[in-house]
Structure 1
Amino acid sequence: MVRATGPGLLAALVLPLVIVLVPARAAAFGTIDTGGQNREHERITRAAVACAAGPESGRACFEPRSADQLAGHGKRFGAVGSPDLTEPLDPAAHCDDADYLAGDYPRTRDRATASLRDCVDHLRGRFLEAVDEAGNLLDADGAIVPAAVTLDADCEFDAAQEKRSKCRSLEGFGRALHGVQDFYSHSNWTDEADPARPVGADNPPGLGLPAPSPVFDLRGTGAPSVPDGLSTGCFVLHDSVPGVEKCALRVTHAGLNKDLGLIDPNTGEATDPATPRGRVGGNFARAVAGAVEETRRQWRDLRSELEDRYGARKASLMVCALRRDDPVADCRIRGVPTVLAAGVLVGVVGLVLFGLRRQAVRGRRQAVRRRRAG
């Protein structure tokens, strides 16, 4: 996530198509390709769920135009970048302020866990928005609604005029992905402390845990199970400035994040880390790998939730509509395009009934002939 300062923040909020950012320190995985950011959110999302090459690669991946809407392209943030435009200072949208350090520390474990729970609940809400809106991809007969899935123009996220259900569902999902990806940049879940310095608030211990994290069961409702040593960073807009009262003596975002570096959007390979914590060992690469794996997990979970909510047949069409660029032509039921499926089904039933009627008439005529012959 990139949170701009001064006129940059105004530009990000008011002029999303003409991103004008003043130089500022990064706040999490980047969304733009200037000011030190390298579109990290977009590249993580593409590495995780975009089709590797061509329109279809044999897995449940997002085709190019659909991937553009979810991940972003050019100067457009995409669904995954939306929180940086509309929720830049909301800790729950980015899993901030869940900082904790064992020993004499200004915050308790319970308070840090409560902050993390705020993030999980917020992302659960976004995840469910995606599930709810997916129900509008199909009409009452279970066929894909063409107007709901067209991508003749880019999606307009956080816009009242955006009526396409595909765009609205992708927005909820993208916002959930933004938060879970930020978690791996903001927290010590996958990383390690700098062995050359003593462990403390400016060098918190790393947990070195694998992804995906059980913390982010977005289909669930219960409280997440949080390891005692888990911490994210205390965030303020200028958290590189010494003496900021909010984060005094606390684990800061500036000291913990693995925000910046180069990410291959095809493979997810992460190189050239550009933050102090990211440069320690393989911290940046592990944060990126964790975010990629978590993104894939959330896509699997979204498909499972759609099936539980709407049934296997409808869910299959919804998933197809979300990830394919031309769902009207390409999403099929046993080889039949979905927009024709209802008509084909009616036609088949009609033919069967017609055949049964003809057979019944033929049987009655044969019975009459037998009586006359007798």
Structure 2
Amino acid sequence: MVRRVVASLVLAAAIMGPAGRATAFGTIDTAGQNREHERITRAAVACTGPDRFCFEPRSADQLAGQGKRFGAVGAPDLTEPFDPTAHCDGADYLDGDYPRTRDAATASLRACVDHLRGRFREAVDRAAHLLDAEGAIVPAAVDLGTDCEFDSPREQRAKCRALESFGRALHGVQDFYSHSNWTDEADPTRPTGADNPPGLGLPTPSPVLDLRRDRTPTVPPGLSTGCFVLHDSVPGVEECARRVTHAGLNKDLGTIDPRTGEATDPTTARGRVGRNFARAVAGAVTETRRQWRDLRAELRARYGAAKASLMVCALRLDRPTAGCRGIPTAVAAGVLVGVVGLVLFGLHRRRPRRP
């Protein structure tokens, strides 16, 4: 989201004026950002309540980030800052006389969904390496003695690699709610148009962001995300001229409570309209929880319940070799059945026979 500032902070200061700040849910604590991605992710999945599938502190740090360290959810701001499919940009459309068609906008949105599906499946693939051939957790694969190094060939820990892929998927689905009009409303004091597109006010999570299945998402006719260029502005310039822009539609910046997800003090124009910022953040939190549920479900479908249970445990616990069962559930159940059978057989042998 505020990704591009991070991708080249020095260049950004030199070439971008005040009206052209590139923004999205923030990843850092400068340039107007307040680590919004981190705070959304923590509110969704970090251990602050009774959720038995929550992420313990050290593992949450790797997924969400902490302080000046990028977590997995911030990785696209480092390596994919200008890729619209990583941030669901460029799916802009307005009914009427508009520079691009509904079909073109829909194709851009589907490209984003396909990209995020690839990241989601990558996380499922990489989770396989959390376990050894016998189905036990590999200690070296889950060790968090040092922080994960995202997008680094040096990083070989399966936990870090799976979290990176999942975090990249989360970044894009969170951006969808900030960069689109799915949850929001237009400014009622101004006429609708490219600089004030209609809002859809739809509930969350969005069926468009089903990353588990290959089916083509149905896109509402009025759905739009903003066109982005480096000199992001309202009205749009360069290829974004006469189009709905990221600058005009985003709800990226404000204050988010990392425990509750409460969103206040929005600082973008669209975010200050009504409850637009709060609704975008609430949608992103809800979506993050949905994707974590879906990841667990996909692990079960791919690897079976016993292995998936260990994989999920390994991803979310700080010391999984101590906190997760070392014997897969199915194996343990088989051992238990065998023991019970032997006991019953022994009792049967010792029972006195009738004369």
Q: Which amino acid aligns with 2:59?
A: S
**Where does structure 1 differ by over 3 angstroms across 4 or more consecutive aligned residues?**
8-13, 20-24, 339-359
Distance 1:142 1:341 in 2: 10
The residue aligned with 1:110 is 103
Secondary structure of the structure 1 residue equivalent to 2:8: helix
**Separation (CA, whole Å) in 1 of partners of 2:109 and 2:330:** 46
Structure 1 residue identity aligned to 2:8? L
Separation in 2, partners of 1:120, 1:252: 20
**Partner Cα distance (1:71, 1:63) in 2:** 11
Find the partner of 1:221 among 214, 223, 247: 214
Identical pairs, percent: 75
Aligned to 1:142: 135
Counterpart of 1:103, as a letter, is G
Measured after TM superposition, the shift of residue 348 of structure 1 is 8.0
Cα 1:258–1:358, aligned 2, differ >3 Å: closer, same or farther? Answer: closer
Which residue in the other structure is 1:277 paired with? 270
1:45 to 41, 46, 49: 41
Is contact 1:3-1:237 (8 Å) kept? no
In structure 1, what is the Cα distance between the partners aligned to 2:330 and 2:189?
A: 67
Give the AA of the match of 2:293. Answer: R
1:1-374 aligned within 5 A: 1-4=1-4, 9-11=7-9, 25-52=21-48, 57-240=50-233, 244-332=237-325, 338=326
Deviation at 1:296, TM superposition (A): 0.4
> How much does 1:342 deviate?
11
Change over 3 Å in CA distance of 1:229–1:72 after alignment to 2:
same
Q: What is the aligned partner in structure 1 of residue 353 from structure 2?
A: none
1:188 to 1:83, Cα distance in 2 relative to 1, 3 A: same
Q: Tell me the equivalent position of 1:370.
A: none
CA distance in 1, matches of 2:51, 2:281: 24
In 2, Cα distance between equivalents of 1:75 and 1:307: 35
The answer (yes or no) to whether the contact 1:21–1:35 under 8 Å persists in 2 is no
Using the alignment, how far apart are the partners of 1:34 and 1:197 within structure 2?
Answer: 31
CA–CA distance in structure 2, aligned partners of residues 141 and 98 of structure 1? 46
1:174-227 deviation per Cα after TM superposition (whole angstroms, max 9, x unaligned): 000000000000000000000000011110000000110000110011211000
Q: Which stretch of structure 1 is more off in the superposition, 20-29 or 245-254?
A: 20-29
The separation in 2 between residues aligned to 1:140 and 1:153, in whole angstroms, is 26
Seen in structure 2, the aligned counterparts of structure 1 residues 62 and 196 have a Cα distance that, compared at 3 Å, is same
The offset of 1:11, in angstroms, is 5.0
Contact preservation (8 Å) 1:12, 1:85: no
Alignment partners' CA distance in 1, 2:333 and 2:199: 58
| Count of residue correspondences | 347
Query: For residues 58 and 311 of structure 1, what CA distance do their matches in structure 2 show?
Result: 22
Change (3 A) 1:243 1:295: closer
State the Cα deviation string for residues 65-99 of structure 1 (Å, max 9, x = none).
Answer: 00000000011110000000000000000000000
Q: How far off is 1:3 after superposition?
A: 3.5
- Which residue does the alignment assign to 1:369? none
Letter in 2 for 1:42: E
Deviations 1:16-50 (A, max 9, x none): xxxx9778624210000111000000000000011
- Say if 1:177 and 1:295, in contact at 8 Å, map to a contact too: yes
TM-score, normalised to structure 2's length? 0.90
1:286-323 deviation digits (Å, cap 9, x = unpaired):
00000000000000000000000000111011000000
Q: TM-score, normalised by structure 1?
A: 0.86
Q: Which letter maps to 1:73?
A: Q
- Are the counterparts in 1 of residues 184 and 199 from structure 2 also a CA contact under 8 Å? yes
Deviation larger for 163-172 or 24-33 = 24-33
- Structure 2: how far apart are the matches of 1:122 and 1:298? 15
Which residue identity does 2:315 align to in structure 1?
L
Q: CA deviation at 1:10?
A: 3.3
- Give the residue type in structure 1 aligned to 2:192: V
Partner Cα separation in structure 2 for residue 341 and residue 279 of structure 1 = 50
Mapped contact 1:26–1:259 kept (Cα < 8 A): no
Deviation at 1:341, TM superposition (A): 8.5
Q: What's the C-alpha RMSD, in Å, of the aligned pairs?
A: 2.8
